[in-house]
Amino acid sequence: MRPPRAKAADAPRSGKARAGCHFPAVETRLVKTLLSETELQAGISRLAGRIQSDYAGRSLTILGVMTGSVVVMADLIRRLELPLRVGVVQASSYKGGLTSGPLSIAAELMPDVADRDVLILDDIFDTGRTMLGMLDHLQSLGPRSVRSAVLLLKEGRQEVEYRPDYVAFRIPDLFVVGYGLDYRDQWRQLPYVATLEPSDLADVGP
């Protein structure tokens, strides 16, 4: 007997699906695309071009803030033709829901940054507190230089003066998921950036 066809193949691209579903094809119905795969890839290429020319002739240590930066990190580093070291750092001020808590940095996985040109990469610049905390921490470790790059900057949300050196996309003040970004540790695997409806934000996950 043939296996049943995945319902998602026939599903309309709008309308409401079950919250917390793990299949991207089905999630397509729940979420609204804000940045498509094509737009994202073009934005990452532009970002890579700027980084590439700014760091020409130097070697770069790129530090991805876990976990949200994993997808943009993978796409960005494959476009950089520079001597490149790649590391990760864990920082969280974000408890998986909508509000921020105090920032904690677990730097155990981080490579040595003393006397290096370092670029911190995060998924989104929201209040800015995570990035500012990371920069303070990094500065104390004696790098040659530190800059920051983010995939998204959420307009109108910043609570700090600092702005990232590189921003791939500016987005309105909406809660977004996909392309690494999560809501309660779900949705990171979507290949595009999407908004969740307020009702979905209440529904998803434990």
Residue number with CB closer to Mg ion (33 or 90) = 90
CA 119 remoteness from chain centre: 14
Per-residue mark of binding to ligand IMP, 124-143 (x: CB under 6 A): xxxxxxx-------------
Asked if 98 and 198 count as a contact pair (C-beta separation under 8 A), the reply is no
Catalytic residue among 123, 126, 182, 200: 126
Element (H, E) at 121: strand 117-125
Q: Interacting stretch for Mg ion, rule CB under 5 A, among 17-25, 39-47, 68-76, 140-148?
A: 68-76
Tell me which residue of 136, 144, 83, 82 sits closest to 114, measured CA to CA.
144
Decide: is 94 part of the binding site for ligand IMP (CB under 6 A). Answer: yes
Q: Among residues 43, 68, 164, 178, which is the contact residue for Mg ion, using CB under 5 A?
A: 68
Minimum gap (Å) between residue 15 Cβ and Mg ion:
29
Task: Kindly report the backbone phi and psi dihedral angles of residue 181, in degrees, each rounded to the nearest multiple of 5, phi listed first.
Answer: -85, 145
- Rounded to an integer, what distance in angstroms lies between the CA atom of residue 153 and that of residue 14? 26
- Interface ranges with ligand IMP (CB under 6 A): 68, 93-94, 100, 122-130, 175-177, 181-182
